[in-house]
Amino acid sequence: MNIENLKPISTTSEARELGRMGGIASGIARRERIALKDELILLLSTKDFLTGESLQKKMSIALIDEATRGNVLAYKTIRDMIEGMSVKKSEFGTNKQAINPDDEN
Res. 33 pLDDT band, cuts 50 70 90: very high
Res. 90 pLDDT band, cuts 50 70 90: very low
**DSSP code, position 20:** H
**DSSP code, position 103:** S
In the predicted structure, residue 85 carries a pLDDT above the cut 70: no
Computed over every residue of the chain, the mean pLDDT equals 81
In the predicted structure, residue 61 carries a pLDDT above the cut 90: yes
Res. 92 pLDDT band, cuts 50 70 90: very low
Which helix (H) or strand (E) is 96 found in, with range?
strand 96-99
CB 98 within 8 A of CB 82: no
Residue that wins the pLDDT comparison between 6 and 46 = 46
pTM over 0.75: no
Res. 66 pLDDT band, cuts 50 70 90: very high
CB 44 within 8 A of CB 56: yes
Residue that wins the pLDDT comparison between 47 and 89 = 47
